[in-house]
Every structure is written in C-alpha cells, then in structure tokens.
Amino acid sequence: MKLIKKNLFLIICIIILGLCLYYVDDISNYISRSLEKNPSVIAPNGNTYKRNLDFIYVQNTNDFIPLSYNDILNIYYTITNSGLKNFTFYCPSEYKKCTDDVSTISNNQEILSYINNFVHPFNSFSNIQTTIYESGEVNITINYLYTEDEIIKINEKVDEIYNNLIINNMNDYDKIKTIHDYIIDNTKYDVERNNNEEESKYNSYKAYGPLIEGYATCSGYTDAMALFLEKMNIKNFKVATELMQEDISGHVWNAVFVDNKWLHLDLTWDDPVSEDGKDYLQHKYFLITSEELTKTDSEGDVVVKDHIFNKRIYPELTNN
C-alpha cells in the first residue's frame, strides 16, 4: 500500500513538473508581472494605414501606463490607429480609478465610435472587446470592419479612379470636387439598408458599397471620400451626429483640412434621394464652414438636425 502511494505521489510530481516545463514562459511572465509595479509595454509600430496625426480629442501615445482618463482614450486611439488585433496594457496602482475608467470607455459605444472616427477607414473596427482583470491587466481584442480581400479590391478601384481623373496641376479644391462628383454620380443611396439593415444585399455601410457595388449609406460615402483624401495627403476625420438628440438615428460625414482650416464635406446630403427617381448632384455641403453648415441646415421648411455634432469631441470645427 505504501509503495502504491509512493508511486502515485511520484507520478503526480512528474505531471506537475511537466506542466511547469510546458508553461514555463507563461508562468515566468506572470511572476514577473506580479513582481513588477508597472509592467512595461512595447509601443506598436502600426500597419500601413496608421495615421501620424494627433487631434484635440485623441492623440497617438508611446506611454501605455495610463494616469488619467485621457491617457486611456489615447491608448485606445493608438492601438486602433495602429491596426492591432490584440493589445494588453496595465493599470498602475497609483491610478485608483483606472479600471473604472477603462470600463466606462469600453462599455460606451458612442465613445468608441468617436475614437473610430479619427482613424484610417481600413483601421476602423466593427467592435472592440475589453477584458479587465483584478490585477489591473487590460486585454483588448479588435475586430476590424474591412477584410483583406475588400481592402485589395477597394485599393485597386481607388487607384484606377484617381489615375483617370486627377491631374497633377490640380489644386486640393479641384481634386476634392472631382472625387466628390464622381462618387455621387456613380452611387445610389441604399434606401433598403436605411429602412432595414437586414434587407440590403449591398455593403453600403462601408467604402466597398459605393466604389464596387454602386450603393452607399452615409458611412459608405464618408469612408469612400476619406480614402481619396488619404491618397491626396489631406488631413481629415469623420464627424458623427450627437446622438443625445431625440428622433435622430445618426449620421456621419467628412471633416477636411483645406487652406489651413477645417471644413465640412457631406456627400450623402449632396446626393439626395428624389421622389421622381432622378439622380441629382449638389454642392450645398461641399467644403463649408460650421456657420455655413448651420445656415444651410436651416433653409427650407424642415430644419436639418443631422449635422448637430459634439463640439467637445470635434473642437477643430468650432473655429471656422
């Protein structure tokens, strides 16, 4: 009986030793993290579509030890802007509200969508999953909106359109107008998706819709235009309706930096859905100031509320 117990004990020890050897890296990493007050995090290099742009609301960072709410926003922006699928950072012990602030940001879809509006369209996400551990470790998993196959096809189409339409001696205004007009002339608003997402057969909510399939909703128009603005090396970001308003489902359009000022550009409203079924091309929302935007929205019998935006998120647009 003693021999059986002795052999059983030996077998258990061998199993434990084997597991320790197999998971030696994970164990050593866990121990080192536990002993280290603020574990180091290597700054991401970023993919091809990383923007080296900082905005007032969010900025790129190389410091992944957050000490404030804004630091966490910058971390989320940086890792999304870098095109990372997974990332881990750690809340330091001296930042007592860190995990609470991470939870606030990660569970607020409006905040996450605001962050999404400042990155390159190909680095925009469909969703972000955040796991917070009691130790202060924060794991982030990002699922991106565009597939690799879609990116290849869209890039080919963008190059084709750009090379056929854009002439070297064009100024920025003429380049933007040429692409603005092309997208509108070759795209129909996807009424079915607007009325019921499940009914539409088009990828109209992203650039694949207008550029490949010929159908778009506001996010598709905006992403398509943003891709050309990137190719022109013109600073831009996406602006979203402030959703605190009643009876507003949400809208998105482009903000463009031209002639040293930020201007509004809305292809959706320049491509109106008409009752007679005809296609119309307008320039009412083409590179206009915030004051001009408000004035244009107030014209006519119905006041447009889709362009009411959060000035705290987009302060760049409040000084024009």
pTM for the complete prediction? 0.85
136: Cβ contacts below 8 Å, ≥ 6 apart: 90, 91, 92, 93, 98, 99
Q: pLDDT > 70: what percent of the chain?
A: 83
Q: What are the tens digits of pLDDT across the range 220-242?
A: 999 999 999 999 999 999 999 98
CA 232 to chain centre: 20
- Please name each of the domains of the chain with its CATH number: 36-144 (no CATH), 148-318 (3.10.620)
Helix (H, G, I), strand (E, B) or coil at 50: coil
Contact between residue 250 and residue 140 where contact means Cβ atoms under 8 Å apart: no
Average pLDDT over residues 33-53: 74
DSSP codes, 290-303: HHHHHHHHHSSSS-
Which of 251, 252, 193 has the alpha carbon at shortest distance from 226?
Answer: 252
Distance, CA of 188 to CA of 184 (rounded, Å): 7
Cα–Cα distance, 270 to 312 (Å, whole number):
26
Locate 238 and state its tokens. 């996406």
